[in-house]
Amino acid sequence: MKLKKIVIVLSLFAVMGSCKKFDDMLDNPNSPRPDAANADLYLTQAQLAFAGFFNTASSFGMEVCRQIVMYGPRYDNAYQPQSFDGIWTNAYTSVLKHVNALIPIADQQKKYVNVAMAKIMKAYTLMTLVDMFGKIPASEANLGVDNTNPNAQDGKDVYAAAIALLDEAIADLGKTPGSYPGNQDLFYGASNAAGAARWRTLAKTLKLRAYVTTRLADPTAKSKIDALLTENDLIDTPAEDFEFKYSTKQANPNSRHPRYNGNYAATGSAGDYMGTWFMWTLVVEKGTGANNDPRTRYYFYRQRTNYADVNEQTSSCSVAPTPSHFPPGMPFCLLISGYWGRDHGDNSGIPPDGNRRTTVGIYPYGGEFDSNQGTSVSLNRGGQGAGIQPIWLSVFTDFIKAEAAMTLGTAGDPRALLESGVKKSLAKVIGFPATVNVTPPASFVPDQARQDAYVAKVLALYDGATNASERMEVLMKEYYIALWGNGLDVWNNYRRTGKPGNMQPTIDPNPGSFTRSMLYPSVYVNRNINASAKTVDVQVFWDTNPAGFIK
C-alpha cells in the first residue's frame, strides 16, 4: 500500500514537471516574453504592428478629407467609439508594448540601431495618437498592474517627449553597434553604417515634420526649423524614403497591401469608394484627357471606362439633383470617362456597383495600371499587392519646407520647393510600376513634355496668386495630391492650413463641426476610470485655428 502511494506521488510530480515543461512551450513566438526574447524578434513584431498602425491612421484621414468615402452623413456620427478600438489596441498592446520591451534588451546587446529604430517608431506612434485623439495616456501607460487606469497627458507634453525620443535615437545612432539589423530592418535593411544613417536622417526629418505641424502653437518653431535646415540632414532623395514595402504573397502569410486585399478579390468586386472630389482634382480640375494630372492612371483603376451601366439601381445619385448648397462648379456624383466614386458624407444604401466603381491603382497600393481595360477587378491583377505605405517621402519634405518658408520666413524659395516637390512626386509615381515588375503600355505613360506641361501649369497658378492665402492654396493642393496613401498628413495639413479650401461639402447641408479630433475608443473610455468621452469638435493642442475654420 505504501509502495502504491509512493508511486502515485512520484507520478504526480512527474506530471507536474511535464506540465511545467509544456507550459514553457506555450509562449507565442509572435509576442515573446521579455526574458525569452532577443532584439531581432521584438523588432520584427514592432515593425509589422507599426505598419498596420500607420495604415489605419491613414485611412481615417483619407476619409474625412475626401480621398476615399466617409459615409457620414454628419461628422459627429460618421464614426462610433468602437471604430477606434483597433488602432488604439494596436498602438498600446502591439507597437508600444513591443518597442518598450525591445529597447532595454537591444541596448544590453549593443544593438544600438535596433534601439534607435524602436525609439523612432515609438515617437511617431505617440505623435500620431495625439494628432488623432488629443490628450492621451503616455508616461503612465503600459505599466501593467502598477497602473491600470493611466491618466491622459496634454498633447503638448507628449509631443515634447516624442521629440526627446527622436533626439535619443540620433544619439544612439552615433554609437558603434555590436551588429546591424540587416534584413531584420524592414524599412532600410540597415546592414552597415550607411544604412543606419538613413534612420538618423529620418529622425531629424520627423523633428522637422513635428515643428511644422505645431508651428501655430510654438513661437520657437522658426528657430528649431532653421537649425535643422542649416544642418541639412533631411530626407530629400528617393533612396531615403521611409516606406513600408509589401510583397505579392497571397497566403501563409498574406503580405500584400491591405487596401489591395480589400479591392482586388476573387469576387470581382472592389471594396472601397474613391472620393468623387479627390478624383475630380486629378481628372478635371486642371484639364481633362491628355491635360489631366499625369498621375491619374497610376492612382485610380476604372472598372468601367464609360457610364453605360449607370441607372437608378447602380448609381442613385445619377438621377438626383446636385445639392442646393453645393457652390457652382462643385463636382457631384459622376465625373467623366467612367470615374465612378462616392460623394462626401453619402450614407445612402450601397448599390450593386462593386464591379463598376473606380478603385485604387498601382500607386501606392500595388493595384492595376489603368490603360482603359474597363474590366472588373480580380485576384493577382497589376502589381499583385506589392504596394507601399508612404509614411514619409522626400516629396513631402519639399512641401513642408515650402510651407515653413511661406509662413515663418525660414530659408528656401517656396516656389522652387513647390516645383521640386511636384517633379519628385511625378517621378516617384511614374517610376513606381518598374519597382514591382509591371510595365504599363508605353502609349499611356506620360512623357516628359506632358510632365513639364503639368509643372508649368502649377507654377502659373502660383505666379498668378495675388496673396499668401492663394499661394498656400496652390502649395497645399499639390501636397494633398502627392500624399495619396498617407491620409494622416492630409488631415493634419487641412486642420493646420485650411487648405485645400475648395473641398466638396457633405451631402448633408448641416454636418456639424468638422472632425478636429477623433472620438476616444470604447476600450479606453469603458475600461479606464480616469477616462471620459469627448466629441469630434475638440481640437488638438497644435490646432489653434477658430471653431468652424474648416468643413
pLDDT for the residue 373:
98
Predicted confidence (pLDDT) per residue in 422-435, tens digit: 999 999 999 999 99
SS3 letters for 373-411? CCCCCCCCCCCCCCCEEEEECHHHHHHHHHHHHHHHCCC
pLDDT for the residue 523:
98
pLDDT bin (cut points 50, 70, 90) of residue 146 is very high
What residue segments make up the domains of the chain, in order of their start? Answer: 34-246+387-525, 248-317+327-383
Q: Does domain 34-246+387-525 have CATH number 3.40.50.10860?
A: no
pLDDT for the residue 403:
98
3-state secondary structure at position 90: helix
Of the chain, the percentage scoring pLDDT greater than 90 comes to 92
Predicted confidence (pLDDT) per residue in 304-340, tens digit: 999 999 999 999 999 999 999 999 999 999 999 999 9
Q: Is 441 left (phi over 0), alpha (psi -120 to 50) or beta?
A: beta
pLDDT bin (cut points 50, 70, 90) of residue 36 is low
State mean pLDDT over 357-377.
98
State mean pLDDT over 9-30.
48
Q: DSSP states of 505-527 as a string?
A: PPSSS---S--SSPPPPHHHHTT
3-state secondary structure at position 244: strand
Q: Which three cell numbers stand for residue 208?
A: 522637422
Chain-centre distance of CA 46, in angstroms?
17
Amino acid in position 198: R
Cβ neighbourhood burial of 256 (10 Å; 0-12, 13-18, 19+): buried
Give 293's Cβ-side CA count (13 Å radius): 25
Mean pLDDT computed over every residue of the chain: 94
pLDDT for the residue 41:
84
Q: Find, among 62, 59, 133, the residue nearest to 92 by Cα.
A: 133
Strand locations in 71-198 (E): 136-137, 152-153
Residue 459 has pLDDT above 80, yes or no: yes
pLDDT for the residue 216:
98
Residue 3 has pLDDT above 50, yes or no: no
Residue 134 has pLDDT above 60, yes or no: yes
Q: Which three cell numbers stand for residue 13?
A: 510530480
pLDDT for the residue 40:
83
pLDDT for the residue 32:
54
Residue 198 has pLDDT above 90, yes or no: yes
Predicted confidence (pLDDT) per residue in 249-279, tens digit: 999 999 999 999 999 999 999 999 999 999 9
535 against 14, higher pLDDT:
535
Q: Which of 18-32, 181-195, 345-359 has the lowest mean pLDDT?
A: 18-32
Question: What is Dmax (Cα atoms) for the chain?
Answer: 104
Q: Find, among 496, 470, 485, the residue nearest to 418 by Cα.
A: 470
Helix (H) or strand (E) holding 40: helix 39-64
Q: Which three cell numbers stand for residue 504?
A: 466638396
Residue 214 has pLDDT above 50, yes or no: yes
